[in-house]
Structure formats: structure tokens, C-alpha cells
Amino acid sequence: MTYRIEKDSMGEVQVPADALYGASTQRAKDNFPISGIRFSRRFIWALGLLKGSAATVAAQGGHIDQQIADAIRAAADEVMSGDLDDHFPLDIFQTGSGTSTNTNANEVIANRATISLGGEPGSKLVHPNDHVNFGQSSNDVIPSVIHIAAVAALREDLIPALEAMESALAAKAEQFADVVKSGRTHLMDATPVTLGQEFGGYATQVRKGIERLQSVLPGLEELALGGTAVGTGLNAPEGFAAATIALIAERTGYPFREADDHFEAQAAKDAVVMASGALKTVAVSLFKIANDIRFLGSGPTSGIAELRIPDLQPGSSIMPGKVNPVMSEMLMQVAAQVIGNDATITWCGANGNFELNVMMPVMAHALLQSIEILANAVDTFRRRCVEGLEANVERARELVEKNAIIVTALNPYIGYDAGARIAKEAVTSGRSVRELVLEQGLMTEEELDAALDIKRMTQGGVM
């Protein structure tokens, strides 16, 4: 590998000759060989969006030369598109403000813009600080980028995936509306429900999850840009941040706005913590749904088996013919990761100090990973599991007819104590509730026909 020499305030540094980054990035690369986990595509996209928009506004205000601003904007667009991702090598476990990655972006964009203007990398024809970082600080850039990336990912990826999931579950609720089956509470037999009612509940869980995510968007759409180092806005021209944010809103179509209080926006990360909490709630809902479907499809001979789950792949390296509920297991693991990410974000949010939170890179990674893996998992689970689910009507009927708890519908006629005695005797003897009630003369056959209407039991009221 060949190298070039770049300089920063600490001296000279060897940088790979073909790298667009400079001395500061190389130092961070050497300092933080921690995990190999880099910032996500969404984050780098948002970073390019902010830098290009800021340069455009800086030129409009006469603060930097228009030709330089145009070159910065073009380079930043390449950052947005992913063409320069190889030049963003830094680990997420780095300086807690994310300064290394902000500087990384400044250097890459400056060198790419310099080359486009006929200069040599490292010559600073376009300066990473004076031009690309004009009117900004890492301390207001990084929190703004986290918010921009999260809003785009929620609006474009996760919320649409959940909307499609809600529709698929609602369609199954309609399809299964007449499939009567045993209800279960505490994992034990309970009064009858329909399979459609269960799936309607799942669809509502998902819809409420969408509403929770939508409720956190206004907080995320508030950007810290304009506070610069500590929230005072030192070195940011009046109106610069507002104009830059307005341009970002125009380019994305999302209602971003400047923070009401820059000290809150930089010192705290409460909007991120709240968003993560909503993601955790969605993950908990999805875990419940996936786990229920897994159990309802268990068997096929020794489990509940009221659902037939699509066969997707062999389930065992030793047991021929075994098929497992792999989609449920996948979604449950994703939910577990999101719940863990929320714990990380919560702890990071609690550890802001004075005018700056210094655990932002890992917060950014955890938040954006949660959104990404949930969106991908929900989409896959819907396509490869939910849409292919079938009801095992015969099995559902068999189990509900054996369910002694249907005696509950007789409480208004024979009382709770007699009902409990009948239920216990039905379980121990294997005889039906109907048979025992008639034998003991507790009700007439006509009364039982009306009271033990299984389908009507799913509709509530007194039989």
C-alpha cells in the first residue's frame, strides 16, 4: 500500500494514498480497533444530507464561495448515495460525541470536493473545518443526524412494514372468523373464542404499535443543529441553522425543525430514549404474536396444531421430516435484540453530562439497528409466515368439544359450584359436560342445546 502524508493540529499522519479521509480519521481508525461495527447506511446518508444542505445555505449567506459550496454539495450527494462508504471506516465505539465520524465526513467531502476542483487530496483547497463544517460542531451535527436517520427509517421502512403486517393479520382475522376454538388463559383451557378474534387482537396490537411510533416522530423531527459546541450557537450565523433545517425538510419531505431549546437538545437524548421505548413496545407485541403463532402451530400430532404454518425448510439434521416454526423464532430473536438495544439506549441517555451526552455513537447504532431489523423481520414474517397460515378447523373443533370449561356458560342456570363439580368430573372421567348435566338432571336437553352453543359463546352475553 502506498501512503500520503496529511497534517492536522497534532502533526503529520500517514494516510493510504487512495483514501479520501485525512489525518483525524486515520488517528481515530488507529485508536479504536474495537468491534468492526461501522455506522449504518442510513446514518451516513443523513450525514451527507446535512453537510450538503449546510454548504448550500452557507453560500447563500455569502459565508463560503459558491464554487466551493457546489463542490461540497456534489461530494455530499455522493456520500448520501453510498458511493463513498468505503471511506467511512470508523468503529461506532469511539469518542462519545461522534466527533471522529463528523470529522471523517468533513475530510472525505473536502477531499472529494478538492479533487473535483482540480486539487490534490490533503491540499485543503476545500477545507474540512472552515468550509465543510462551517457553522457547525460535532455536538450539534451528530444528534441531528441521529434524528434525521431515525425519522427516515421509521417513515420509509418500519411503519410501512407494520402497516402491511396489520393488513395481513386483519385479513387472517376475517378468514378465520368462523373457526371456533378453545380460549386459553394461564396456558390452560378457557371459554371458547374464534381464531379470527385472536388474529383481530394481533392486528390491533400492531396498529397500536404504529400509533406509538407515530407519536415519537415530532420529538425526533426537532434537530439540535444551531447549538454548535454547547448550545449557545457560537460561530453559527443568525438564521443559518433554521435555513439549513428548512432545506433538509424540503429535500426529504419530512417536517424537521430547529430545536426549541438547544441546551436540552444537546445535553439530553430524551427523544431517542422515548423512540427506543416505542420500538421496544413494538418488539414486545411482535414477540407475543410470533410466540402465539408458534404454539398454535405446534405439533403436528402432539401439540395444539390449530394452525398450519408454512413449511419453509428442514428442521433437523437428524430427524427426517421435521419442520420448525423458523419465522416465529427469527422474529422472537429480533425482538430480544431490540429489547437489549433499548437497555443500552436507556443507560446511554441517563449518562449525559452537563452540556453534552457523550454516548451518542452507540445510541445511534442501537436505535437505527432496532428500526432496521424490525422492519426487515416484520416484512419477512408477513410474507413467509402470516400470509400462508391456514386454520386446522377439525383440530380446533376437536379440542373445543373436549374443553370442560364450556361449563362456564351454564353458571347462570346451575351455579358456579355445580359447574366446578361437573368440570372436574368431565376431566377425570373423560365424559362430556352435556352428558353429565343431563345425567344429573340439572338442565333439560332443550336448555342445554341453547346454553352450549359454542359459536354463541364467542359473542358474549348470557346464553
pLDDT given at position 174: 98
pLDDT given at position 54: 98
- The set of catalytic residues is 186, 316
pLDDT single digits (tens) 153-194 = 999 999 999 999 999 999 999 999 999 999 999 999 999 999
CA terminus-to-terminus distance, the chain:
83
pLDDT given at position 31: 98
pLDDT given at position 8: 87
Query: Where do the H-state alpha helices sit in 117-261?
Result: 138-153, 159-175, 195-220, 240-252
pLDDT single digits (tens) 194-234 = 999 999 999 999 999 999 999 999 999 999 999 999 999 99
Q: How far is CA 153 from CA 43, 98, 375, 384, in A?
A: 10, 20, 9, 23
- Calpha distance 105→46 (Å, rounded): 11
Residue type, 459: Q
pLDDT tens track, the chain, 463 positions: 899 999 888 999 999 999 999 999 999 999 999 999 999 999 999 999 999 999 999 999 999 999 999 999 999 999 999 999 999 999 999 999 999 999 999 999 999 999 999 999 999 999 999 999 999 999 999 999 999 999 999 999 999 999 999 999 999 999 999 999 999 999 999 999 999 999 999 999 999 999 999 999 999 999 999 999 999 999 999 999 999 999 999 999 999 999 999 999 999 999 999 999 999 999 999 999 999 999 999 999 999 999 999 999 999 999 999 999 999 999 999 999 999 999 999 999 999 899 999 999 999 999 999 999 999 999 999 999 999 999 999 999 999 999 999 999 999 999 999 999 999 999 999 999 999 999 999 999 999 999 999 999 999 988 7
Residue 24: closest CA among 118, 131, 113, 110: 110
pLDDT given at position 352: 86
Domains and CATH numbers, the chain: 3-134 (1.10.275.10), 140-236+261-392 (1.20.200.10), 403-457 (1.10.40.30)
Neighbours of 218 (CB within 10 A): 12
pLDDT given at position 43: 98
| Dihedral angle computed from the Cα positions of residues 127, 129, 132 and 137, in that order, rounded to the nearest 10 degrees | 180
Sign of CA dihedral 432, 435, 440, 441: positive
pLDDT given at position 35: 98
Residue type, 188: M
Residue 144, all three cell numbers: 441531528
Tell me the HSE value of 383 on the side-chain side, using a 13 A CA sphere: 7
Residue with cell 459565508: 63
For residue 192, give the 3-state DSSP assignment.
strand
Residue type, 378: V
Q: Is 227 exposed, middle or buried (0-12, 13-18, 19+ CB in 10 A)?
A: buried
pLDDT given at position 462: 85
Give the phi and the psi of residue 455 in degrees, each rounded to 5. Answer: -65, -40
> What's the 3-state SS for 95-108?
CCCCHHHHHHHHHH
